[in-house]
């Protein structure tokens, strides 16, 4: 974060990578494995327009990114959002894609088989999932299905092999259809940086949803439970944390500080991304005149890598 605090999202570390493609007056960010290839080739698809004013990438009247550092291989950006405190503003450390690729090529130079990661992976055309959904709509009955396995690409042999290792249903026809679709996807992959390897493996999790008639895929994991944690926690837990927080703020305003502290603790327990619940819990103890418990909460916030929490602890509890 801008104030030096640790980014605390609740997400697994490999899922908080951010990718940018920057053009003359447009840029794309937070792109999936599918969209990266198409957007890099056609910047007109990027949704964000910007103006470069001094060292600020201005994306709207109220927000943008401050360019803090720029070298041939790296770019450091910090969010700029009007009336937003520093502890809420993310700092982004970006490395040029060519530099990252060169690093991994050197790392894997003596290997013939590699397992792809979010930083070094073949990319696939954005149209792939669209065509897969259309195929399911035309030929398949939609029901809830989750499976995991691995996609193995053989660049020199120009083929793809799909292995499904776990599935919530044993529908051989449906599983074969999914496998065949990936097996026939060789021409959809950009493999120019992977021709030196005999094979490239991508672990994946795949989901079919009856409601909404949609398919989803996650790469670099076999954990199908990640579909329930797209925001770092499940949606029910997010709602539970929000409800506790709203109730706590109401109690705090009514000066019912002990009850407020209890609900704020429950809010953070349900949604550990909400650091504000802890700050308000400490404030509730201050309202009670309970410095000992306020210090325990500030120490907890400090241990989570939050600069303001550390300052509160050092200034009030030492």
**CA–CA dist 198, 112 (Å, integer):** 5
**Residue-wise burial string across 42-52, b where 16 or more C-beta atoms lie within 10 A, e elsewhere:** eeeebeeebee
The pLDDT assigned to 278 comes to: 96
> How close are the terminal C-alpha atoms of the chain, in Å?
26
Portion of the chain with pLDDT greater than 90, in percent: 60
In the chain, % helix, strand, coil (3-state, to 5) comes to 40, 25, 35
The pLDDT assigned to 125 comes to: 81
**Structure tokens belonging to residue 39:** 């957007």
The pLDDT assigned to 63 comes to: 93
- Whether 16 has a pLDDT exceeding 70, the answer reads no
* CATH class of the domain whose range is 235-317: mainly alpha
The pLDDT assigned to 30 comes to: 63
The pLDDT assigned to 47 comes to: 66
CB atoms within 10 A of CB 268: 22
pTM: 0.80
Mind listing the pLDDT tens digit for each residue in 223-235? 998 888 766 788 8
Domain ranges in the chain are: 13-95, 103-228, 235-317
- Whether 34 has a pLDDT exceeding 60, the answer reads no
Q: Is 141 exposed, middle or buried (0-12, 13-18, 19+ CB in 10 A)?
A: exposed
Q: Which span out of 74-78, 150-154, 215-219 was modeled with the highest average pLDDT?
A: 150-154
**CA–CA dist 35, 265 (Å, integer):** 39
The pLDDT assigned to 265 comes to: 97
Q: Is 37 exposed, middle or buried (0-12, 13-18, 19+ CB in 10 A)?
A: buried
Q: Which of 82-96, 100-114, 262-276, 295-309 has the lowest mean pLDDT?
A: 82-96
């Amino acid at each position: 974060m801008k104030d030096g605090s640790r980014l605390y999202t609740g997400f697994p570390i490999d899922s908080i990578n951010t990718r940018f493609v920057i053009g003359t007056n447009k840029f794309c960010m937070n792109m999936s494995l599918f969209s990266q290839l198409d957007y890099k080739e056609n910047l007109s698809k990027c949704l964000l327009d910007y103006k470069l004013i001094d060292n600020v990438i201005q994306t709207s009247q109220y927000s943008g990114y401050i360019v803090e550092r720029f070298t041939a291989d790296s770019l450091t950006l910090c969010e700029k959002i009007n009336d937003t405190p520093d502890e809420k503003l993310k700092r982004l450390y970006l490395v040029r894609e060519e530099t990252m690729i060169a690093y991994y090529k050197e790392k894997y130079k003596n290997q013939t088989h590699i397992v792809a990661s979010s930083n070094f992976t073949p990319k696939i055309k954005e149209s792939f999932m669209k065509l897969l959904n259309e195929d399911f709509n035309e030929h398949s009955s939609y029901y809830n299905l989750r499976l995991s396995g691995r996609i193995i690409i053989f660049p020199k042999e120009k083929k793809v092999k799909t292995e499904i290792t776990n599935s919530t249903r044993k529908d051989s026809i449906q599983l074969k259809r999914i496998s065949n679709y990936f097996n026939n996807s060789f021409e959809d992959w950009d493999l120019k940086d992977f021709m030196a390897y005999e094979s490239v493996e991508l672990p994946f999790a795949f989901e079919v949803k009856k409601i909404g008639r949609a398919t989803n895929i996650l790469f670099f994991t076999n954990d199908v439970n990640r579909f329930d944690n797209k925001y770092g926690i499940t949606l029910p837990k997010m709602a539970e944390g929000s409800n506790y927080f709203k109730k706590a703020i109401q109690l705090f305003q009514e000066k019912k500080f002990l009850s407020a502290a209890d609900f704020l603790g429950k809010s953070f327990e349900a949604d550990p991304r909400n650091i504000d619940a802890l700050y308000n819990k400490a404030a509730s103890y201050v309202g009670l005149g309970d410095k000992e418990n306020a210090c325990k909460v500030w120490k907890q916030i400090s241990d989570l890598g939050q600069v303001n929490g550390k300052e509160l602890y050092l200034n009030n509890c030492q």
